[in-house]
């Protein structure tokens, strides 16, 4: 049956199309900004006094292509250290007499405890390599306060690490060269720290802070990191205090920063060296600057040079050089003992800052935010009194407040429905679909599916509004009902954003600039709208006048929401898997909710006035039909591709005894998102055939590995769910290795006067060749040990088991690990050992090669053994 459209419906569709065109143009602009389309990378022949992305990419090529693997335990990590030191020595040779360069190779050892991903663990490390260079004026002193620039050159398991963090090292090498070749002499020293053990939970930076002679001179730091292959180089953390972000705001060539990122960063799985310098071991003011797009390739074998987004390194390099100049010229750059007073007065000062499309940056202090962010709620409370006077008492203050309150509730209901309806649509789709996350490799599908139904949710309260009368007093006024309704809807929506702004302020969060920007823009829009009404403009023209002052905010909202949606979609492939049945729906629900929030954020300010054109049953039906069509079409798309791979963990588990026996040998698999291993084997028949997984195989009755099986990756392993254990032969293992890791008594135990028993142990790694880490899981009456200043971490309990103490050992050496454990009683101490070996036996290599290109497999061997002392 054909639709019969009235004149009002036709006008509504025209307005809807106009909005689609406007938001489409804004989205194109935002996409160009986010993907660095406006930044021109300089070539290899660029002047020597300019930062060149092409020159930096030469370093990336060598680090990620010519050097085979920069993981701890592999020869490539040592090659990378030699290469970096060689480049720094070459830069030193070109330096003039007016500048001083010191280059050092530092071997660090240490032990400490930390909380990582919410779990308490202890680290013990040895023989990790840091390369350190200090650039200063010829007459500088060793005690002068300095700026630290930190980046890591080790890479994660199975990844060439072009983005993470070859791009960081390359940027730093090019900035170091630029410092010398530009003729600029830093007024304060600059320390370049190329640390070789970040992926092992920030060991290199800890080694620098605890052992290096220059650590006491660091007055500020910049940590460069990558959780993707480019795009926004965002300031994700800043502090302590507001000085680092203020320096960034004043000096960044391409500002990319949101203080709101500091509100959400703690809930994202992972961490950076920033915490070592600013929180755990330094309390040093600094910035944490991270590549955030291209997260599909983060910690995968696809993190290659070809995936780097052009322009990203150019923007990072120019920003770093400008920041170095600003920090070293600042009077607030001080040594630790001189900095104590400054930090004490500035420690609680969380500034508010954000960039506008990387064009410029807005920064204001917490004190200014208290005033600014209180203005919207003050205006909202004052306006009813003003209107009461304008109506000459014909309409009471109470009636106006009641109508405004209704406006708040209706706008709030619209935002909630804009979130709930997409969630319901996502659940409905999965009830009829064979797999979730169809949007993962095609982010535009998420917008196609959820934006129309979210917009429909925003409009529902507008339908209801016409059925509910205003509070009272209209009959006594000459003002039309529609004018008063516009007034109530607008001030209700304004009050909603004003209340959110105040809530952000009272919570001490830094994201209040978002709702303050909305509130300020809406005030300007309302003034424009009322002015157009006073000149008797037609309703459509008045609506346009309302929209024009909102365009700067709407453009920013599309930029901010688009970035947030893209970032989250890319991360959904590695956020961890929740057990079914809820885990099957969870990623789609999260993305649907986010798109709903984004739609409410981007379109919500228009609804009070523009909703007049859109709140029509024909448009509502059209939006729902469009959503249903998109939901149906999306189910035909495969969730993964080479540009958006699925992550699979493949562990060859070898259970050993006595250093030369294999008790059991299995292949263990796990995934990091809601598409299970059954999905992988359905679409990877070669792998299924190799593992003898046929149509009769049941994942419900298959053997599932215990949590302890993944101990070598603890606590990251807690993100795994629905793993699978399959038996395999041990022949290749016995051929490849002569000896296996083994824990033995190093010397006789001792008993103290209080009855405690000290056991002296020695851990041999056998004939393993590329050990990344060894993990000890100790249960029993443990009261002390030789790690971390003899202080135990908080015990961990997994799946109702006994309390465990976890210690990670890393670092290559010809000597065995020796340590002691102290028991408070005569009860047995149980020690489980898991050693992660990166080299695979031939059968495991063959199995890994059978996985299709849309799967990224992180493969390794884990040698496990148990002991009682």
Q: What is the 3-state secondary structure (H, E, C) of 188-235?
A: CCEEEEEECCCCCCCHHHHHHHHHCCCHHHEEEEEEEEECCCEEEEEE
**Residue 477 confidence (pLDDT):** 47
Q: DSSP assignment of 304-353, as one string? A: -GGGSPTTHHHHHHHHHHHHHHHHHH-TT---HHHHHHHHHHHTT---EE
Stated as kind and residue range, the H or E segment containing 667 is: strand 661-671
Which token pair is 288? 């944490």
**Residue 387 confidence (pLDDT):** 83
**Residue 474 confidence (pLDDT):** 47
Place of tokens 């024909």: 618
Cα 373 to Cα 495: distance, rounded to the nearest angstrom: 13
Cα 537 to Cα 487: distance, rounded to the nearest angstrom: 17
Q: DSSP assignment of 114-170, as one string? A: EEETTEEEEEEEEEEEEEEEEEEETT--TTS-EEEEEEE----TT---IIIIIHHHH
Q: What is the CA radius of gyration of the chain?
A: 30
Cα 812 to Cα 605: distance, rounded to the nearest angstrom: 59
**Computed from CA positions of residues 336, 337, 339, 341, in that sequence, does the dihedral angle turn out positive or negative?**
positive
Place of tokens 């708040």: 408
Q: What percent of the chain has pLDDT over 90?
A: 77
pLDDT in tens, 383-419: 988 888 877 666 677 888 888 999 999 999 999 999 9
CA distances from 768 to 649, 652, 657, 740 (A): 21, 14, 15, 7
**Residue 397 confidence (pLDDT):** 77
Cα 222 to Cα 173: distance, rounded to the nearest angstrom: 15
- Residue 439: which of 683, 644, 228, 229 has the closest Cα? 644
Buried residues in 787-821 as b, exposed as e (16+ CB within 10 A): bbeeebbeebebeeeeebbbbbbbbeeeeebebbb
Q: DSSP assignment of 501-549, as one string? A: HHHHHHHT-STHHHHHHHHHHHHHHHHHHHHHHHTT--HHHHHHHHHGG
pLDDT in tens, 93-132: 999 889 999 999 999 999 999 999 889 999 999 999 999 9
Which token pair is 345? 């007065």
Q: Is the pLDDT of residue 321 over 50?
A: yes
Cα 104 to Cα 123: distance, rounded to the nearest angstrom: 25
pLDDT in tens, 452-495: 999 999 999 988 776 665 554 444 444 556 666 788 899 999 99
- Eight-state DSSP code of residue 761: E
The predicted model gives 514-538 an average pLDDT of 90
pLDDT in tens, 80-94: 999 999 999 999 999
Cα 831 to Cα 777: distance, rounded to the nearest angstrom: 6
- Residue 601: which of 508, 502, 500 has the closest Cα? 500
Place of tokens 């994201």: 511
pLDDT in tens, 770-782: 999 999 999 999 9
- Residue 444: which of 312, 637, 584 has the closest Cα? 637
- Residue 309: which of 232, 386, 256 has the closest Cα? 232
The predicted model gives 212-230 an average pLDDT of 95
Confidence of residue 374 (pLDDT cuts 50, 70, 90): very high
**Residue 480 confidence (pLDDT):** 55
Q: DSSP assignment of 85-100, as one string? A: HHHHHHHHHH--TTEE
3-state secondary structure of 591: helix
Q: Is the pLDDT of residue 702 over 70?
A: yes
Reported pTM: 0.94
Q: Is the pLDDT of residue 854 over 90?
A: yes
The DSSP bridge partners found for residue 821 are: 759, 785
Yes or no: say if 741 and 833 are a contact pair by the CB < 8 Å rule. Answer: yes
pLDDT in tens, 22-77: 999 999 999 999 999 999 999 999 999 999 999 999 999 999 999 999 999 999 99
Confidence of residue 571 (pLDDT cuts 50, 70, 90): very high
Q: What is the mean pLDDT of the chain?
A: 92
Cα 776 to Cα 27: distance, rounded to the nearest angstrom: 50
| Distance between first and last Cα of the chain | 81
- Residue 60: which of 172, 208, 191, 167 has the closest Cα? 167
The predicted model gives 236-262 an average pLDDT of 93
Least confident of 481-485, 576-580, 654-658, 813-817: 481-485
pLDDT in tens, 793-818: 999 887 677 889 999 999 998 999 99
Cα 797 to Cα 659: distance, rounded to the nearest angstrom: 28
Q: DSSP assignment of 700-731, as one string? A: TTS----GGGGGGGTTGGGG-EEEEEEE---H
pLDDT in tens, 250-290: 999 999 999 998 888 877 777 899 999 999 998 899 999 99
């Amino acid at each position: 049956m054909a639709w019969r459209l009235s004149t009002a419906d036709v006008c509504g569709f025209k307005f809807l199309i106009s909005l689609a065109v406007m938001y489409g143009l804004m989205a194109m602009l935002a996409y160009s900004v986010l993907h660095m389309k406006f930044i021109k990378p300089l070539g290899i022949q660029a002047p020597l006094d300019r930062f060149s992305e092409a020159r930096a990419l030469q370093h990336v090529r060598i680090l990620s292509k010519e050097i085979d693997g920069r993981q701890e335990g592999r020869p490539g990590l040592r090659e990378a250290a030699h290469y970096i030191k060689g480049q720094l020595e070459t830069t030193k040779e070109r330096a003039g007499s007016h500048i001083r360069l010191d280059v050092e190779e530092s071997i660090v050892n240490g032990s400490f405890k930390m909380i990582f991903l919410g779990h308490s663990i202890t680290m013990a490390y040895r023989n990790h390599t840091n390369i350190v260079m200090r650039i200063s004026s010829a007459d500088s002193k060793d005690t002068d306060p300095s700026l630290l620039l930190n980046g890591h050159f080790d890479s994660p398991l199975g990844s060439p690490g072009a983005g993470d963090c070859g791009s960081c090292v390359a940027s730093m090498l090019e900035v170091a060269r630029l410092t010398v070749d530009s003729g600029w002499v830093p007024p304060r020293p600059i320390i370049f720290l190329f640390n070789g053990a970040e992926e092992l939970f920030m060991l290199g930076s800890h080694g620098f802070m605890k052992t290096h002679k220059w650590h006491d001179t660091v007055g500020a730091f910049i940590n460069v990191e990558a959780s993707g292959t480019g795009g926004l180089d965002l300031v994700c953390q800043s502090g302590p205090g507001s000085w680092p972000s203020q320096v960034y705001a004043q000096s960044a060539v391409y500002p990319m920063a949101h203080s709101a990122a500091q509100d959400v960063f703690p809930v994202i799985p992972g961490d950076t060296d920033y915490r070592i310098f600013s929180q755990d071991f330094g309390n040093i003011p600094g910035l944490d600057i991270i590549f955030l797009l291209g997260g599909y390739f983060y910690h995968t074998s696809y993190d290659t040079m070809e995936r780097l987004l052009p322009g990203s390194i150019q923007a990072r390099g120019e920003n770093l050089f400008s920041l170095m100049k600003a920090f070293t010229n600042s009077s607030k750059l001080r040594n630790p003992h001189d900095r104590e007073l400054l930090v004490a007065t500035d420690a609680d000062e969380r500034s508010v800052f954000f960039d506008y499309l990387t064009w410029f940056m807005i920064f204001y202090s917490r004190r200014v935010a208290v005033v600014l962010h209180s203005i919207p709620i003050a205006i909202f409370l004052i306006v009813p009194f003003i209107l009461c006077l304008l109506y000459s008492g014909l309409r009471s203050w109470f009636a106006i407040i009641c109508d405004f309150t209704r406006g708040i509730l209706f706008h709030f209901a619209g935002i909630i429905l804009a979130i709930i309806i997409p969630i319901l649509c996502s659940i409905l789709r999965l009830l009829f679909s064979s797999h979730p996350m169809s949007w993962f490799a095609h982010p535009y599908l998420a917008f196609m599916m959820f934006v129309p139904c979210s917009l429909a949710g925003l409009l529902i309260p507008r339908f209801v509004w016409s059925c509910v009368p205003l509070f009272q007093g209209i009959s006594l006024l000459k003002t039309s009902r529609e004018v008063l309704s516009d007034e109530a809807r607008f001030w209700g929506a304004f009050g909603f954003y004003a209340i959110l702004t105040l809530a952000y302020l009272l919570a001490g969060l830094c994201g209040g600039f978002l709702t303050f920007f909305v509130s300020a823009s809406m005030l300007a829009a309302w003034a424009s709208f009322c002015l157009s009404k006073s000149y008797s403009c037609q309703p459509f023209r008045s609506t346009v006048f309302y929209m024009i002052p909102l365009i700067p905010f709407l453009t920013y909202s599309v930029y901010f929401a688009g970035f947030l949606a893209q970032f989250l979609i890319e991360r959904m492939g590695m956020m961890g898997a929740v057990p079914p049945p809820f885990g099957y729906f969870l990623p789609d629900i999260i993305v649907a909710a986010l798109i709903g929030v984004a739609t409410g954020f981007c379109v919500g300010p228009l609804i009070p006035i523009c909703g007049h054109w859109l709140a029509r049953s024909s448009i509502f039906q059209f939006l729902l039909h469009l959503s249903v069509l998109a939901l149906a079409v999306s189910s035909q798309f495969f969730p993964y591709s080479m540009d958006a791979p699925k992550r699979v963990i493949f562990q060859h588990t070898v259970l050993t005894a006595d250093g030369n026996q294999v008790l059991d040998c299995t292949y263990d698999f796990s995934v990091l998102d809601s598409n299970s291993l059954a999905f992988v084997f359905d679409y990877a028949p070669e792998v299924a055939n190799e593992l003898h997984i046929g149509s009769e195989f049941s994942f419900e009755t298959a053997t599932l590995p215990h949590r302890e099986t993944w101990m070598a990756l603890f606590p990251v392993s807690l993100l795994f769910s629905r793993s699978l254990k399959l038996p395999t032969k041990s022949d290749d293992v016995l051929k490849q290795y002569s000896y296996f890791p083994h824990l033995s008594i190093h010397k006789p135990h001792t008993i103290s006067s209080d009855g405690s028993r000290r056991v002296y142990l020695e851990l041999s790694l056998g004939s393993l060749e590329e050990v990344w880490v060894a993990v000890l899981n100790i249960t029993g009456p443990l009261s002390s040990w030789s790690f971390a200043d003899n202080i135990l971490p908080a015990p961990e309990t997994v799946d109702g088991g006994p309390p465990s103490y976890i210690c990670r050992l890393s670092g290559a050496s010809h000597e065995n690990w020796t340590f002691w454990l102290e028991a408070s009683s005569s009860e047995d101490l149980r020690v489980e050992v898991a050693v992660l070996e990166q080299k695979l036996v031939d059968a495991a290599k063959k199995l890994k090669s059978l996985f299709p290109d849309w799967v990224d497999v992180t493969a390794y061997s884990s040698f496990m053994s148990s002991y009682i002392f």
